[in-house]
Structure 1
Amino acid sequence: MLTLYHSPNSRSSAIVTLIEELGADVEVKEVTVRRQDGSGGPDASNPHPEKKVPYLVDGTEGIRERGAIMLYLTDKFPEAGLGPIEGQPGRGEYLSWLFYYQGVMEPVIILKFAQFTHPAVEASLRDFDTMVARLAETLEKQPYLLGETYSAVDLLCSGPFLWLPDMLPDNEAIRDWVKRCSERPATVRTLERERQAA
């Protein structure tokens, strides 16, 4: 049995949405976590080594980090078509966007939100504007990051702009993409549940 450890209104909300999109049989267990405002705290029932979320357990396997969990789940439930599996066209691009999000997008979004800049960071990760340009060059050619159809990378990469709408770039292609992603029924239902939980 697959189990997701989740805390409402957190990074794990995207995985809850993905589970619904996949139609996957996954038990969702809510745990508390330390929040950015200092509230909350570690939950002894959370098996994540740092007491964070999301954390997926599949038998003896424990998977952390959203990109890794998304890859694991889309490979496990390929019939949903939310991520190319090994040997399918687009697999390389799919992996690239998953890792780009974890390694570049999320860090530069956090750094911009924190109003932190440093030449060493920008030399390694680039900056928010460079990340926006990367999204724009893709989304000005096609409706979704992998082409004509929605995938787990759209869910992952559009997420920060749903939670932090003030950071949504003034680019029509990106704004239209975020709107398309936000109107997915599973996303709408997750956001509504999260608002009620707040």
Structure 2
Amino acid sequence: MTLYHAPQSRSSRVLSLIEELGNPPEIKIVEVDIPRMMSGTGKRDPNNPHPEGKVPLLVHDGVEIWETAAILLYLTGLYPQCGLGVAQGDPQRGRYLSWMFWYAGVVEPVIIAHLCGLSHPGFEASLRGLPEVFARLETALAKGPWLMGDRFTTVDLLLHSPFIWAPQITPDSAAIRDWVERCKSRPAAERARARDAAAMARWAA
């Protein structure tokens, strides 16, 4: 099993999960030049097999798994002993999947639109905006320290991640700020950040 990863990118949340698992796949560092890719002038890293030249990409037994939410669900299913997923048949399985797909289908598009200064009535009517996202998080966190209640899951790992790679969007909400800090303070998250910092230092050397 191999994870293709770029340090200090959105792929870092997969690295955090790998640190949680304690049974990491091989990590291959690839380069992703986001500004140049967005302008259409960037060159993709020839060592990265991702179909769009992005990260993360997990390859397991020759099968490529892309998109962060898919990779997180795949790994938590592959390693149920990590306790970060919700198994098939558990009454909370539907809620768990809903949070994961809500992030992919709503939260990240809303955040990207906000960061790019994009606004359109049709987009906002369909996906809403940051205030609605924050309200959903606050409502869930009022019922427990984590989004699934009393235990940390992959849902928390994924949904807190935008406040790491785009901290300027963090709202003036004690519930959300404290939750993000709890997620950041997990030993696995700290190890992932240290691994990324070491990789960046090697690149700069």
Which TM class, normalised by the smaller chain length? over 0.9
Give the Cα separation in 1 of the matches to 2:145 and 2:36. 36
Taking the TM superposition and a 5 Å limit, the aligned residue runs for 1:21-40 are: 21-36=20-35
Q: By how many angstroms is 1:22 displaced?
A: 1.1
Give the alignment's TM-score, normalised by structure 2. 0.91
From 175, 182, 185, the equivalent of 1:183 is 185
> How much is the aligned-residue C-alpha RMSD, in angstroms?
1.6
Residue 55 (structure 1) aligns with: 57
Q: By how many angstroms is 1:189 displaced?
A: 1.9
C-alpha contact (below 8 Å) 2:134/2:171 kept by paired residues:
yes
Residue 90 (structure 1) aligns with: 92
Identity of aligned residues (%): 50
From 87, 94, 103, the equivalent of 1:101 is 103
Taking the TM superposition and a 5 Å limit, the aligned residue runs for 1:1-198 are: 2-36=1-35, 41-196=43-198, 197=200
Give the Cα separation in 2 of the matches to 1:184 and 1:69. 20
Q: Which stretch shifts more, 87-96 or 132-141?
A: 87-96
Give the Cα separation in 1 of the matches to 2:52 and 2:36. 18
C-alpha contact (below 8 Å) 1:83/1:151 kept by paired residues:
yes
Give the alignment's TM-score, normalised by structure 1. 0.94
Unaligned 5+ residue runs, structure 2? none
C-alpha contact (below 8 Å) 2:19/2:191 kept by paired residues:
no
In the alignment of these two chains, the number of paired residues is: 197
Q: By how many angstroms is 1:37 displaced?
A: 6.0
CA-to-partner distance for each residue in 1:86-133, whole Å, 9 max, x for gaps? 112321111111101111111111111112111011011111111111
Q: By how many angstroms is 1:145 displaced?
A: 0.8
Unaligned 5+ residue runs, structure 1? none
Q: Which of the pair has the greater relative contact order for Cα pairs under 8 Å at 6+ separation?
A: 2
Give the Cα separation in 2 of the matches to 1:120 and 1:130. 15
